């Protein structure tokens, strides 16, 4: 099939398409609303469009859809989905319920090539990038399934968002449009393992989202043992990029810090971390890791996480502990996909 997914087109791209097809300019806005506000799953639903135009669209395009392969709901209300793509690949999406609204954690790639040793998503490598329309459909599918509005998005599922830069930027344009579901940039958080050149590229866009950097260790030796990306972009380069990002955008960076027993959870490490990010006013999100089959790491106990947080706070760092959600439903990214493949990620 040589058709293209039309849900991945941004509003300017649809305007060009409509012009190319000899249609009046207002059709682009109508088409975008059908795809992203009304979330039509077939061209036949677009009842205010000329039949000849719809037929021409159907010849060239398809509307990206996801099929629910598996759904798990935790006792805390978290819902985890294993979605199947038209090409047979599977991705994971999680809907989390908070007092301020529903957050959907989306995947941006099928698999991941970053190789972080505590993460199930990377076992098996990257298969392909997701399109902007596929990422958007993760949000739409979760909202449709629960019948509840999604108010926040985190790009922290399977894949490295900045390794799929162009499609992710198109997704952000689509999902924040007033003619679609209109989720504001300040309600969106993008997580990266630290691709330094792409952090600078993102800064140029001044998007207003929250950049969340997976730091996990304050020294090169410690971080490289956990995250191979540190061999390419070491801690000093990464922190400099984060400081430059803050200066360029006026937006504070958030640091994700997975607590691993006996690796990065000592008082000495907390002091090094506080020194490393001194003066940034950054937020540190401490994460008790979920158990992952095949990983050599185990989670720090709750008492030690609390001690680590208290010490950071005493040293002037704004540190919180992430609420653990969905631990009873294979909550770690990539686990449900592995289980569906009989323990593989291919």
Q: Beta-carbon neighbour count of residue 162 at 10 Å?
A: 23
Alpha helices in the chain (DSSP H): 11-20, 26-36, 51-60, 132-146, 165-175, 196-203, 220-226, 235-249, 267-276, 302-314, 335-340
Strand 101-105, strand 67-73: pairing: unpaired
Q: How far apart are CA 3 and CA 55, in angstroms?
A: 13
Q: How far apart are CA 189 and CA 194, in angstroms?
A: 15
Annotated active-site residue 92? The verdict is yes
State the catalytic residue, choosing from 90, 193, 242, 333.
Answer: 333
- Residues that constitute the known binding site: 112, 116, 119, 159-160, 191, 214-216, 290
Q: How far apart are CA 170 and CA 37, in angstroms?
A: 16
- Residues that constitute the known binding site for [4Fe-4S] cluster: 112, 116, 119
Which tokens sit at 70?
A: 């598996």
Residues forming a β-bridge with 130: none
State the catalytic residue, choosing from 92, 134, 138, 256.
Answer: 92
Contact assessment for residue 284 and residue 326, using Cβ atoms and an 8 Å cutoff: no
Which tokens sit at 108?
A: 């941006």
Annotated active-site residue 333? The verdict is yes
Contact assessment for residue 285 and residue 255, using Cβ atoms and an 8 Å cutoff: yes
Strand 101-105, strand 109-111: pairing: unpaired
Alpha helices in 7-75 (DSSP H): 11-20, 26-36, 51-60
Q: Is 41 exposed, middle or buried (0-12, 13-18, 19+ CB in 10 A)?
A: middle
Q: Which residues are catalytic?
A: 92, 333
């Amino acid at each position: 099939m040589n058709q293209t997914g039309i849900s991945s087109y941004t509003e300017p791209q649809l305007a060009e398409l409509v012009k190319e097809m000899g249609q009046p300019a207002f059709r682009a806005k109508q088409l975008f609303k059908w795809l992203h506000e009304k979330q039509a799953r077939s061209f036949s639903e677009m009842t205010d469009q000329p039949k000849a135009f719809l037929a021409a669209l159907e010849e060239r395009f398809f509307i990206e859809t996801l099929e629910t392969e598996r759904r798990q709901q935790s006792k805390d209300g978290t819902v985890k989905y294993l979605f199947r793509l038209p090409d047979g690949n599977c991705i994971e999406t999680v809907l989390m319920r908070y007092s301020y609204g529903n957050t959907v954690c989306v995947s941006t790639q099928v698999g991941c090539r970053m190789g972080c040793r505590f993460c199930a998503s990377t076992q098996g490598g990257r298969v392909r990038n997701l399109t902007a329309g596929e990422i958007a459909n993760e949000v739409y599918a979760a909202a449709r399934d629960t019948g509840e509005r999604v108010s926040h998005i985190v790009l922290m599922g399977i894949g490295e968002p900045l390794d799929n830069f162009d499609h992710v930027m198109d997704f952000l344009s689509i999902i924040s449009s007033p003619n679609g579901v209109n989720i504001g940039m300040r309600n969106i958080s993008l997580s990266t393992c630290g691709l330094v050149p792409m952090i600078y590229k993102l800064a140029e866009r001044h998007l207003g989202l929250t950049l969340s950097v997976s730091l996990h260790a304050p020294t090169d030796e410690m971080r490289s043992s956990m995250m191979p990306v540190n061999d390419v972009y070491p801690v000093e380069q990464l922190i400099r990029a984060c400081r430059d990002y803050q200066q360029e955008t006026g937006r504070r960076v958030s640091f994700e810090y997975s607590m691993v027993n006996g690796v990065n959870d000592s008082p000495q490490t907390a002091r090094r971390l506080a020194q490393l990010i001194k003066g940034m006013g950054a937020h540190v999100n401490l994460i008790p890791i979920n158990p992952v089959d095949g990983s050599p790491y185990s989670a720090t106990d709750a008492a030690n996480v609390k001690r680590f947080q208290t010490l950071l706070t005493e040293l002037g760092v704004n540190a919180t502990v992430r609420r653990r959600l969905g631990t009873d439903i294979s909550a770690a990214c990539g686990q449900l996909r592995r289980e569906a493949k009989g323990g593989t990620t291919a």
